[in-house]
Amino acid sequence: MRVLVVEDEADLADAVARGLRREGYAVDVAYDGDEALEKAAVNAYDLVCLDLNLPGIDGIEVVRRIRADGGAQPPRVLMLTARDRTVDRVVGLDEGADDYLVKPFDFDELKARVRALLRRDAGRSGALLQVGDIELDSARHEARRVGRPLALTPKEFALLHYFLSRAGQVLSQEDLLEHVWDENADPFTNTVRVTVMTLRRKLADAGKGQPIETVVGRGYRLREEP
Amino acid sequence: MNPPERLLDRLPEWTRSIRFRYTLLYSAVLFGLAAVVLAAIYLVLLMALRATPVSSGRALFCPHGECITVITFREAERLVNAETLGKLRYYSLGALGVLFVSSLGVGWVVAGRVLAPIGRITAVARDIQATDLSRRIQLPGPEDELKQLADTFDAMLARLDAAFAAQRQFVADASHELRNPLAIIRTNVDVALADPDASTDDLRQTIAVVKRAGDRMSLLVDDLLALARRQQPTLEHEPVDLGAAVAEASDDFMVPAETRDIVLDRAIAPGVVVTGDREALKRVVANLLDNAVRLAPAGSRIRLATGSEGNRAWIAVADEGPGISPEDQAHVFDRFWRADKARARADGGTGLGLAIVRQLVESHGGEVRMHSKVGVGSSFVVWLPITRPAIDGGQR
């Protein structure tokens, strides 16, 4: 899952990015509204953590434009705001933000809200994701196949998470690079192929059959039925 | 305590109203006047018409066994007069009675009409809470005394409303400014604590960030306290040698200016004495210089000068910094306003410095002016009233 953190306080933006990266998200950071819009135009984010009070283009305007230009599946928007007046939150929510958090916030709460927002796209209501015999608990950071725990690296975990939330869809290497890796990933390396390979090996070791199949010339697909 | 007061207390509520007292007064005055007029008419008539009732008949005339009293024509006239005066007395008293009752009624109605706007003013004033000052009396009618009262009241409400709104805005701004560093501290600590394998370098970096945010908060709290304290009239009123105070305040900036390769030129005129608070005036100079030293480019020159003109003293600070665009110049003295939010936060400004300057200068009965041109620089001039010219070259 790919996240954009928009916050003009560099010390806060970097800490949020660091914390979310450790959760396995691919995180980019923008320090003002213009940079946020540039990045949102280039990359397909699943979620934007957005400070409302930005120099230049302000947060409300960023929400509005992200909603307008977001295409078929605009990113979820989580507002971060230091203003606790109801009217500020109402304006933000009305303009298309999905949730808000008042500063200073508990980082665990931020993580929980990010998870909850990302779940909405998958149309589920719990932290537990299950397809066939594969289970993934995004809150506890655990993945199992046939009840057997999988020892995954954060990137493999994030990749499996993305496959599970798009079960049955064909995902190209570009899709995976867009949503699982951040902007620092080199698009010309075979990092996606290698990570998919190691993930498939770990899945195959834990149970019978290979749930992630290759669709020749198009990408990969997680089979919904085992 | 004394009996009449207790008697007043025992009276029903409505008898204590202005309306009741006005009615009584109106009616008593009307009744008194009418009584005096009627009594005067009666007395004048009494004097003019000698009215003695006919005493016993002096001559009895009995032609056919029946006797009739014989009186003279004059006596008959007196008799009629006596009767007329009697009737006059009777009707006058009656009219006085009717007048008294009807004047009570008319007085009550008239007093009610006159006092109705006051009732309205009272009702609105009672309705208004300190938190909702948006209501106004808006008394209709001609420009009379009560309308003036209501309008004055409305104007006072508007001023209060504006003051409360400004206060709320200030609290909202202040909490906003404090929440950001708090969020930085909390998030950094949360993220660092959640990482079991954090290296010493990571932790050191987190501590540095927390320290930065903490420093920013303490600066901000200092400035907020300075601002709050200056809102109360706790300023000293003593003669201050302006030149000495300015020199003292600027001494602190010689080293920071030098480290940034900025030349600080001082041209301080001796012997200007103003009345005010020495520490507050030093703070004015310090805040102006702080901005200049922080924002001016390396290698530039900052000029600080003082002097006097007529009965006003001035302090001027001019820099060769980035300057302020014309549309931003109106906001320069607003609290928490920054020309460039991202940059100003990074280099330690709280956004309160110039607001404090303006407040302090205005509390000294002076004013502060700014002239700025983008790319050329900004200059701030503080004007202060001189209460008494110095005689002995400012040596006090």
Residue B352 has pLDDT above 90, yes or no: no
Whether B71 is covered by a domain: the verdict is yes
Interface of A with B in 163-182 (CB under 8 A): none
Whether B2 is covered by a domain: the verdict is no
ipTM over 0.90: no
Domain count, chain B: 3
Q: Which of B187, B205, B336, B343 to mutate to test the interface with A (most CBs of A within 10 A)?
A: B187
Same domain, B221 and B253: no
Our separate counts of H helices and E strands in chain B read: 10, 9
Whether B379 is covered by a domain: the verdict is yes
Nearest CA in chain A to B184: A12
A90: distance to nearest CA of chain B, Å? Answer: 17
Show the domain range for B72. Answer: 12-127
Same domain, B328 and B195: no
Q: If residue B325 lies in a helix (H) or strand (E), which one and from where to where?
A: none
Last residue of a domain, which of B107, B127, B147?
A: B127
- Contacts for A193 with CB less than 8 Å, ≥ 6 apart: A173
Contacts of A53 in chain B (CB under 8 A): 176
Distances (CA, A) of B29 to B34, B36, B91, B110, B157: 8, 11, 20, 15, 39
Domains and their CATH numbers in chain A:
2-122 (3.40.50.2300), 128-222 (1.10.10.10)
Whether B117 is covered by a domain: the verdict is yes
Whether B211 is covered by a domain: the verdict is yes
Same domain, B255 and B353: yes
Is B342 exposed, middle or buried, given 0-12, 13-18 or 19+ CB atoms closer than 10 A?
middle
Contacts of B213 in chain A (CB under 8 A): 11
Whether B182 is covered by a domain: the verdict is yes
Residue B347: predicted pLDDT: 55
What tens digit of pLDDT does each residue of A200-219 get?
Answer: 999 888 888 888 888 888 88
Nearest to B180 among A9, A32, A108 (CB): A9
Same domain, B109 and B246: no
Nearest to B180 among A19, A32, A82 (CB): A82
Residue B55: predicted pLDDT: 56
Contact A82 B179 (CB under 8 A): yes
Same domain, B261 and B123: no
* pLDDT tier, B210 (very low <50, low <70, confident <90, very high otherwise): very high
Q: B325 near B305, Cβ under 8 Å?
A: no
Contact B345 A9 (CB under 8 A): yes
CATH number at B198 reads 1.10.287.130
Contacts of A82 in chain B (CB under 8 A): 175-176, 179-180, 183
What tens digit of pLDDT does each residue of B119-152 get?
Answer: 888 888 787 765 577 778 787 878 888 888 888 8
Q: How many residues does chain A have?
A: 226
More confident site: B71 or A39:
A39
* CA–CA distance, A101 with A86 (Å, rounded to integer): 12
Q: B121 near B153, Cβ under 8 Å?
A: yes
Same domain, B372 and B244: yes
Beta strands in B39-134 (DSSP E): 59-61, 68-70
CATH number at B253 reads 3.30.565.10
Whether B395 is covered by a domain: the verdict is no
Same domain, B114 and B189: no
- Contacts for A2 with CB less than 8 Å, ≥ 6 apart: A25, A26, A27, A28, A43, A44, A45, A46, A47, A178, A179, A180, A181, A182
Among A157-161, B54-58, B73-77, B314-318, whose mean pLDDT is lowest? B54-58
- Averaged pLDDT of chain B: 81
Strand, coil or helix: B239: strand
Whether B49 is covered by a domain: the verdict is yes
A223: distance to nearest CA of chain B, Å? Answer: 35
Number of A:B CB contacts under 8 A?
A: 73
Residue A82 has pLDDT above 90, yes or no: no
Statement: the pTM of the whole predicted model exceeds 0.90 = no
